[in-house]
Structures are given as C-alpha cells and as structure tokens.
Amino acid sequence: MRILLNGEVHELPAPATVADLLERSGHAGRKVAVEVNLEVVPRSQHGSRELAEGDRVEIIHAIGGG
C-alpha cells in the first residue's frame, strides 16, 4: 500500500498500523507526534490505528537547541 509520509510516497505492506510505520521508519521508541489525514493519533492508539491506501501521515519530533 502507498501512503504519503512527511510529503514523500512510502510503500508499506498491508495491513499496517501507525506503530508498524514508526518501527519501519526508525521512529519506534522515540517521542513523536503522529498525524493521519490531519488528525492527531494519540500514542495509546498507535498499535490499533490502521493505515489505508493514500493516507497522509506526518511524523513530528521535537529538536532541542539553544
């Protein structure tokens, strides 16, 4: 299945959850915010929120600086 991840086409085997995507993209275990189709997905739902063909996903992580 194809999704748009942070503005780029990304291929995933179906079915896939937000947690699967985070694992495959190297973000598992990191503190990130995930938005699917302009809707924030709470961390508690990452394992159950399934992705679908054409979904637009944004993964955002904070970067500290000073």
pLDDT at 1: 96
Tell me the per-residue pLDDT of 26-59, one tens digit each, with 9 for 90 and over: 999 889 999 999 999 999 999 999 999 999 999 9
Q: pTM value?
A: 0.89
Q: Where are the domains of the chain?
A: 2-61
Q: The domain 2-61: what is its CATH number?
A: 3.10.20.30
CB 49 within 8 A of CB 36: yes
Structure tokens at 16: 């896939």
